[in-house]
Amino acid sequence: MEINNDSRKDECPLGEQDGMLYAEYLQLDKILNAQRMLSEVNNATVHDEHLFIITHQAYELWFKQVIYELDSVRMIFNKHKGLDESETLEVLKRLSRIVLILKLLADQVMILETMTPLDFMEFREYLCPASGFQSVQFRLIENKLGMKQENRVRFNQNYLCVFGRDEKGLEAIAKSEVEPSLAHLVEQWLERTPGLEPEGFNFWGKYKYNVKTMLETYYKSAMATDCESERAFKLADYEKRKALFDSVLEPNIHAAYVQRGERRFTHKALQGAIMITFYRDEPRFSQPHQLLTLLMDIDSLVTKWRYNHVLMVQRMIGSQHLGTGGSSGYQYLRSTLSDRYKVFLDLFNLSTFLLPRSYIPPLSDAMKSELNIHWGTPSNETISSNRTCSSDN
Ligand code: HEM
């Protein structure tokens, strides 16, 4: 049959053009040929091993993107030794992207759960001793976010030994341990929150005063209660609240919490975070407040991933078998769900130190003006034309 070249070109206009096409641009020859099923190599093909490999590879690709975004955000924070306000929106955009990727990663666990433990058992022995435990990128994400060695459970504090001869991986991890993490950069940024200066608005001085007034009111109300049991209950509640507020008002008590790993931020940074939370409706604090919320979202989603992963592990290998990476398996993974693994723990616990609106120190005019974004006053012409419009209506 004779082929009409002109009509073929119409059907596929780009087919014969010079330059890169889709597969070449994406190097699909590498990616799509990187699924080596060990069960197949051993002449005992197990259908679900394909899903197992693809799932892990998809995770690693998304980990790469998360690291790329994290590095860029850390760079923006570090560029001016703080966050330039003109770049806050870009930081918010990138952090939101990380949040969405992590949501996807937490949900992706369900796809692998369509594999049954029996299916998994059929090929598990082939992959031993490989394990997600040896994922360099996962450790990089933890470290770049701000996970500290001393907060890992003891078994995981020696995590470098699992990477064997992976020189490049070891180097990247060593670097991530000493570079400023996102948590550290955010801490430094919070320490410079406008309004904390004692000689200026002196937020902390005002906060302290109002906390004391509030606690006194609680105490008086408790003492004025006639019913003995109710009074005892209210007094116990008062004592508890007082101890909690003392822990944040007294720098040495706060330092002891930090020492025990129960708090992370410096005292000054914590003050900044409380201040931003109180005055988040002021224009210059609304983006910082969004930023703090996104950091908590990131922590929540990493914890959700850990939880979904642990449940899957229990479903696949039970709670007594060791992991292929040599840990106690389910038991080890369950221990990583604790607060020790939350990088932005202080932001979660911030609500403990919030005050009812009536006790929030009012902003001075100067502070209100500093936190505002001035658009300039409308010209007389605009005002009068607006008036004309409204009277016309
Ligand atoms: C059948 C599915 C899976 C099973 C049974 C499983 C099992 C385990 C076990 C037992 C551990 C503890 C370390 C060890 O001794 O091996 C572990 C760690 C880990 N796995 Fe999985 N895993 C599965 C799927 C995945 C997937 C899809 C990923 C995605 C990347 C993943 C990533 C990780 C990571 C990052 C760790 C280290 C966690 C930490 O130390 O906090 N795993 N896995």
Tell me the pLDDT band of 390, cut-offs 50, 70 and 90. very low
Which range (4-13, 104-113, 167-176, 369-378) has the least confidence?
4-13
- Name the DSSP class of 227: S
Question: Is residue 213 a part of any domain in this protein?
Answer: no
Cβ neighbourhood burial of 219 (10 Å; 0-12, 13-18, 19+): middle
Ligand 1 within 6 A of CB of 327: yes
Q: What is the C-alpha to C-alpha distance for residues 82 and 185, in angstroms, rounded to an integer?
A: 7
Helix (H) or strand (E) holding 104: helix 88-112
- Among 313, 332, 334, 342, the mutation site with the greatest number of ligand 1 atoms within 8 A of its Cβ is 313
What residue owns the CA closest to ligand 1's atom 26?
Answer: 56
What is the pLDDT, as a whole number, of residue 52? Answer: 98
Sign (positive or negative) of CA dihedral 246, 250, 252, 256:
positive
Using a CB cutoff of 8 Å and minimum separation of 24, what contacts does 260-264 make? Answer: 261/148, 261/150, 261/151, 261/340, 262/339, 262/345, 263/345, 263/346, 263/349, 264/146, 264/183, 264/187, 264/343, 264/344, 264/345, 264/346
Tell me the pLDDT band of 169, cut-offs 50, 70 and 90. very high
Question: Is residue 233 a part of any domain in this protein?
Answer: no
What is the pLDDT, as a whole number, of residue 39? Answer: 97
- Neighbouring CB atoms inside 10 A of 148's CB total 16
Tens of pLDDT, residue by residue over 293-307, are 999 999 999 999 999
Which range (78-92, 198-212, 217-231) has the least confidence?
78-92
More confident residue, 173 or 6: 173
- Neighbouring CB atoms inside 10 A of 192's CB total 14
The type of residue at 66 is V
Q: What is the mean pLDDT of residues 10-25?
A: 78
Question: Is the pLDDT assigned to residue 242 strictly greater than 70?
Answer: yes
Structure-block tokens of residue 44? 């005992």
What is the pLDDT, as a whole number, of residue 388? Answer: 42
Ligand 1 within 6 A of CB of 275: no
Among residues 91, 81, 98, which one has the least CA distance to residue 291?
91
Which range (21-25, 264-268, 388-392) has the least confidence?
388-392
Q: What is the pTM of this model?
A: 0.91
Q: What is the mean pLDDT of residues 61-67?
A: 98
The type of residue at 28 is L
Ligand 1 within 6 A of CB of 131: yes
Question: Is residue 374 a part of any domain in this protein?
Answer: no
Ligand 1 within 6 A of CB of 138: yes
More confident residue, 195 or 164: 195
What residue owns the CA closest to ligand 1's atom 25?
Answer: 132
- Among 131, 135, 163, 320, the mutation site with the greatest number of ligand 1 atoms within 8 A of its Cβ is 131
Question: Is residue 226 a part of any domain in this protein?
Answer: no
Tell me the pLDDT band of 156, cut-offs 50, 70 and 90. confident
Q: What is the CATH number of the domain that holds 61?
A: 1.20.58.480
What residue owns the CA closest to ligand 1's atom 5?
Answer: 313
Residue 262 phi, psi (nearest 5): -90, -15
- Please state, rounded to an integer, the average pLDDT across all residues of the chain: 92
Find the 66 Cα to ligand 1 centroid distance in Å. Answer: 18
Q: What is the C-alpha to C-alpha distance for residues 169 and 175, in angstroms, rounded to an integer?
A: 10
What is the pLDDT, as a whole number, of residue 5? Answer: 53
Ligand 1 within 6 A of CB of 313: yes
What is the pLDDT, as a whole number, of residue 306? Answer: 98
* Domain hosting residue 290, numbered range: 22-195+266-361
Q: What is the C-alpha to C-alpha distance for residues 161 and 174, in angstroms, rounded to an integer?
A: 12
What is the pLDDT, as a whole number, of residue 270? Answer: 98
- Give the number of domains in the chain: 1
Question: Is the pLDDT assigned to residue 9 strictly greater than 60?
Answer: no
Question: Is residue 224 a part of any domain in this protein?
Answer: no
Given a contact cutoff of 8 angstroms between Cβ atoms, the answer to whether 204 and 174 are in contact is: no
Q: What is the mean pLDDT of residues 216-232?
A: 96
Looking from the CA of residue 120, the nearest atom of ligand 1 is: 1
Question: Is the pLDDT assigned to residue 15 strictly greater than 70?
Answer: no
Find the 330 Cα to ligand 1 centroid distance in Å. Answer: 9
Query: Which residues, 6 or more positions from 139, have their beta carbon under 8 angstroms from its beta carbon?
Result: 159, 173, 176
What is the pLDDT, as a whole number, of residue 6? Answer: 54
- Among 133, 310, 335, the mutation site with the greatest number of ligand 1 atoms within 8 A of its Cβ is 133
Determine what percent of the chain is predicted with pLDDT higher than 70. 91
Tell me the pLDDT band of 386, cut-offs 50, 70 and 90. very low
Question: Is residue 280 a part of any domain in this protein?
Answer: yes
Question: Is residue 164 a part of any domain in this protein?
Answer: yes
Q: What is the mean pLDDT of residues 169-196?
A: 96
What is the pLDDT, as a whole number, of residue 389? Answer: 41
What is the pLDDT, as a whole number, of residue 377? Answer: 67
More confident residue, 66 or 325: 66
Tens of pLDDT, residue by residue over 259-269, are 999 999 999 99
Tell me the pLDDT band of 382, cut-offs 50, 70 and 90. low
Determine what percent of the chain is predicted with pLDDT higher than 90. 81
Tell me the pLDDT band of 196, cut-offs 50, 70 and 90. very high
What is the pLDDT, as a whole number, of residue 159? Answer: 80
What is the pLDDT, as a whole number, of residue 1? Answer: 47
Q: What is the C-alpha to C-alpha distance for residues 119 and 371, in angstroms, rounded to an integer?
A: 60
Question: Is residue 342 a part of any domain in this protein?
Answer: yes
